Structures are given as C-alpha cells and as structure tokens.
Amino acid sequence: MFPVLQSNLPYLLQGAVYTVILSAIVVSCGTALGVGIGVLASVGGAILRSIITAYIFLFRGVPVLVIMFLGFYSFPALGLRLDAYTAVAISMIVYVGAFVAEATRGAIAGVPTGQTEAAKSLGMRKGKMMREIVLPQAMRLVIAPVLNISLMAIKQTSYASIVGAWELSFAAREVVERTLAAFQIFLGVMLIYFIICYPLSLAARALDKRLAFDS
Amino acid sequence: MKNGFLSKLRSVFAGALATMVVAGAAHAQETSRLDELLSRGKLIVGVSSESPPFGFVDEKGELVGFDIDIAKLIAKATFGDETKVEFVRQSAAQRWPNAQNGTIDFGAQTTSIYADRAQKVAFTRSYIDGGVVMIVRKDAPFQKLADFNKSDVTIANLTTPTQEERAKRLFPSAQIATFDGIAAQFNAVKLGRAQGAQLDGPVAAWYVKQNPDMRVIEERLTDVVNTGIFMKPGDFRLWQYLDLTVSEMTGGYLFADYSKIYEKWFGTKPLNVKWYLNQPQK
C-alpha cells in the first residue's frame, strides 16, 4: 500500500517539522501584533485609527501569496539579505496581524456597554477601565476567532514553498519530482496537514461553546 | 537670489556625484564577490532540488545530481575541499533575483544561455550541452514534430517564456498547458491531459529510464544549446574565475574529475572540448 509514500515519509516529516515551527512563529507573533494593534485602534485617536483601518483593509484584501512575493522581492531592494524562511515569516506575521487586529477590535466593541458604563460610574479612568474591565472580557471573545485565523495561517504556510522556503509542501514537491507519484505523496501531505490542524479545530469548537456569553 | 541658490545647489550635487563616481570606480576595482567567498571559506550556490538528474532529492533525502557535483568540484578546486559549499534551493523563476541581489555567489541550475537572460545575469561558457526534446506516451501515434501541430493536441510547457515562444512557433495550431514543475509536465502527458511535453534532453532521458511507458521523439525541438553557470553581472573577477574553472573542467586539468561526474549521471563519457584529444588512439 503506497510504497513511495512509505519510503519518503521520514523526509516529509522533516518538512512537517519546519511547517510546525513556521506556523508557531507566525501565529504567536502575528497574534501579539494583532492584539496590540486592535487595542491601539480602540484607545487611540482618529488619525491612528484611520492608519490602522487602512492597514487592516489592505492586508485583508490581498492574497497572502502576493504579500509573500512582495516581502521576498522587496527586502533585498531595501538592502536586507534575508533568507526565504525569514522573509516569509515576516510577511505572514504582518498578514495574520491584520486579521487578528480586526478580530480584537470587534471583540472590544462586543463587550456589553453596561460594563463600561458601570466602570465609569465607579469613577475609573480610561486606562484602568480598559485593563481591568474591558480587555479581560474582550480576550474571551477573541480566542475563538484567533484559533480560526491560526488554522488559516497554518494552511497558508504551504505557499512559502513558492518563494523557496523549505517546509512540508516544498519537501513534497521535491519527492514528487523524483518519483512522479503525485497522488500518493500529496495524499500523505494532506494527512500530515490534517494531523497538525485537527487539534486546533477541536479546540476552536470547544472554546466557542464554553466562552460564549450567555445572551 | 533664487538662481544663486540653485546654481550653488547644482554645484554641490555635481561635486557629490563626482565623488561618488570616483569612489565607485575605485570600489569596483577593489572588491569582488570572489574576495568575499574566499574569506568566507565556502561557496553559496543556487541550485534546483526539483530537476533530476541535475539537482534533486534522493531516497535518503540528500540533495544530489550533476549540478550539485559540479558545484562541489568548484569548491574542491577553490578550497581543496568539496564539502565547502552551501546550497540554496531555488525555483526557475527565482534564479535571476537571487543572483542579482547577492543571495547566492552563483547558480548551477541547468540554465540554457539565451540573449535575454544574458542581459540579466553573467554567464560562464557552457559546462554541458543541453537541448529540448518532446516526450510522449509510448503508445502515442506521434513520430515527428509536425504530428503535434493539430488543434486536438495539447503541449505541456514549463513556466519559462522560451518554452512558450517555441511551442507557439513550432505548433501554432496546438493547445498549450503550462506547469510549474517538470513532474507536473511529465504527469500531464502520462495521464493524457497533454500529448507531449517539452523537456531538457538529459532530464527526459532520466525520466524515460524510470518510466518505460514513455518515450522521447527523435526529432529535437532545438539545436544544441549551451548551459552556463550564472551570477550577478558586473563582477569581472568572479566571472573570470568561474569561467576559467569551467574551461578547466571541460578541457583542462579538471577534466578527469568532470568526466567522472558526467559518467555517474549520464552513463556516457563526455568529449573533451579540445577536439583533437578525442581522436581514436592509433
């Protein structure tokens, strides 16, 4: 049963390790960036808010592959000699950040107004109100969308192979070029991606149920 | 007042420009990527990991192939140690930006020399003959190139402009399908999505050896083309050094090493570029 896949599985799994590392970097940094920007958008002034809106719209409206190409080809033009892996990671962090920022902004807006009004009537300052009342509740609301964005990001790391960053999809292509067994190899690759993503989808679904406010 | 200011500005600019030109000229004479790689103690070479038998990943997961061995031979000639080389795996499209922006010292990636490419990168002389052939299923009715020029025939191309131009010129009536890898091209023909695929001669020979249900059309699509090592243009010392190394490989003191590599991957002995050395011994 699938002899080519069996003999090349160790090589594919090496690629999977790179996919997991790249995903972890992109998801963690992208989430941190996005949450930061989302909070800024909720507390900052009008100018800052419009800049952030532009950033969110720009990156949400462009395919991640195009962002990767731009990152890959523009860093050398700026005099930075980055390897493909770093270029892809940076491009994807900025891309994922835009999605997380939008989710964060939505979550902050989704905290019931009664909460902020109560805080105000207790005489809380804006910063303290944000830190102690709004953000803890908003973070609850943001976890589920962030998990969904993470799933999207993990799957999008497969585009990294197109600009030469070696990971699971690149390894798969290399094996296919030698063996021509496209069906077997990509079937295996599909399973590996599924194994990486499935726990996250389960977590997303469970959290969705647990963290939803009773309305 | 305004004019005085402008002319002052202009002279300042002219002075700055002159300084830059002089500094630039001195700079160009002094530094070469050759010095950089010699002090670094290893080569950084752009290769394909998806073009057997030139550069591909074997069953053990090692990067192997003719181009890989050529790069190792250059490392051996340069540092006396064939392991002093770091490989950058790049797609066909990434060859040019990687050479131009200094990601690699040079590329050895079955790259045919064409004028439009030679405007983007500098090429050494040829280190192996190339040429494009058409590959078909063994049971297909095609015998010569003219047989492909029909509206119900699809030609599988690689994403290079030269292949597209060639297909349109030779087979104006045929359909064209474009793929980003050789395996995809090959599989398209194997599965009947396309009837013929344009492949490099040695690559086609390697695949057909592994797939007895495929064959190569005898009539070639091109004359013999040259395959060069390519690098960032404008670095004369590096270019001269690499061109010299290639000349020694194909007809000088490195020919014995080169022959071993050639025979390992293609099963035949290469001819020395010095034609009089190839005469049968009397």
> Within a domain: residue B8?
no
Say yes or no: B44 and B87 in one domain: yes
Q: Can you tell me the distance from the alpha carbon of A94 to that of A55, in angstroms, rounded to the nearest whole number?
A: 9
> Is residue B184 exposed (0-12), middle (13-18) or buried (19+ Cβ within 10 Å)?
buried
pTM as predicted: 0.80
CATH number of domain containing B136:
3.40.190.10
Mind listing the pLDDT tens digit for each residue in B223-255?
889 999 999 999 999 999 999 999 999 999 999
Total domains, chain B:
2
Q: With an 8 Å Cβ cutoff, are B91 and A175 in contact?
A: no
Q: Is B56 on the interface with A (CB under 8 A)?
A: yes
Q: Can you tell me the distance from the alpha carbon of B107 to that of B88, in angstroms, rounded to the nearest whole number?
A: 9
Say yes or no: B146 and B121 in one domain: no
Mind listing the pLDDT tens digit for each residue in A118-171?
988 998 888 888 888 899 999 888 988 999 999 999 999 999 988 888 999 999
Give me the residue from A73, A83, A177 closest to B181, CB to CB.
A177
Q: pLDDT at position A82, please?
A: 79
Q: Are B179 and B172 in contact (CB under 8 A)?
A: no
Q: With an 8 Å Cβ cutoff, are B101 and A77 in contact?
A: yes
Chain A residue numbers touching B186 (CB-CB < 8 A): 180
Chain B residue numbers touching A12 (CB-CB < 8 A): none
Say yes or no: B63 and B95 in one domain: yes
Give me the residue from A81, A166, A182 closest to B183, CB to CB.
A182
Q: With an 8 Å Cβ cutoff, are B207 and A182 in contact?
A: no
- According to CATH, the superfamily of the domain at A1-211 is MetI-like (1.10.3720.10)
> Within a domain: residue B254?
yes
Mind listing the pLDDT tens digit for each residue in B143-191?
999 999 999 999 999 988 889 999 999 999 999 999 988 888 999 999 8
Q: pLDDT at position B18, please?
A: 56
Say yes or no: B75 and B85 in one domain: yes
Say yes or no: B60 and B200 in one domain: no
Q: Which string of b and e fits A126-157 if b means at least 16 CB within 10 Å?
A: eeebbeebbbebbebbbbbbbbbbbbebbebb
Q: Is B159 on the interface with A (CB under 8 A)?
A: no
Say yes or no: B194 and B215 in one domain: yes
> Within a domain: residue B30?
no
pLDDT of A21 above 50: yes
Mind listing the pLDDT tens digit for each residue in A170-189?
999 999 988 888 899 999 99
Q: Chain A: residue nearest B210 by CA?
A: A179
Chain B interface, mutation test: which of A86, A178, A184, A186, most B Cβ atoms within 10 Å? A178
Mind listing the pLDDT tens digit for each residue in A50-80?
999 999 999 999 999 999 988 888 877 777 7
Say yes or no: B73 and B207 in one domain: no
Mind listing the pLDDT tens digit for each residue in A185-205?
999 999 999 999 999 989 888
Q: Can you tell me the distance from the alpha carbon of A29 to that of A92, in angstroms, rounded to the nearest whole number?
A: 10
Q: With an 8 Å Cβ cutoff, are B56 and A178 in contact?
A: yes
Say yes or no: B161 and B231 in one domain: no
Q: With an 8 Å Cβ cutoff, are B56 and A174 in contact?
A: yes
Give me the residue from B90, B182, B187 closest to A164, CB to CB.
B90
Chain A residue numbers touching B53 (CB-CB < 8 A): none
Strands B106-107 and B43-47, by their bridges, are parallel
Q: Which two tokens stand for residue B54?
A: 């030139």
What are the extents of the domains in chain A?
1-211
Q: pLDDT at position B113, please?
A: 94
Say yes or no: B115 and B170 in one domain: no
Q: State which residues form the domain around B254.
A: 36-128+225-269
Chain B residue numbers touching A170 (CB-CB < 8 A): 89
pLDDT of B10 above 70: no
Q: pLDDT at position A215, please?
A: 46
Q: Can you tell me the distance from the alpha carbon of B102 to that of B44, in angstroms, rounded to the nearest whole number?
A: 10
Say yes or no: B207 and B135 in one domain: yes
3-state helix vs strand vs coil in chain A, percent to 5: 85, 0, 15
Where residue A107 falls (left for φ over 0; alpha for ψ -120 to 50; beta otherwise) is alpha
Query: Per DSSP, what are the bridge partners of residue B51?
Result: B55
Say yes or no: B121 and B136 in one domain: no
Say yes or no: B182 and B264 in one domain: no
> Within a domain: residue B76?
yes
**Residue B177: φ, ψ to 5°:** -125, 135
> Is residue B180 exposed (0-12), middle (13-18) or buried (19+ Cβ within 10 Å)?
middle
Q: Chain B: residue nearest A76 by CA?
A: B101
Q: From A33, A67, A58, select the one nearest A163 (Cα to Cα).
A: A67
Q: Chain B: residue nearest A6 by CA?
A: B59
> Within a domain: residue B20?
no
pLDDT of B281 above 60: no
Q: Work out the number of other CB atoms within 10 angstroms of the CB of residue B164.
A: 16
Angle, vertex CA A168, rays to CA A162 and CA A173, nearest 5: 60
Q: With an 8 Å Cβ cutoff, are A73 and B97 in contact?
A: yes
Q: pLDDT at position B2, please?
A: 45
**Which of B182, B198, B220 is the endpoint of a domain?**
B220
> Within a domain: residue B109?
yes
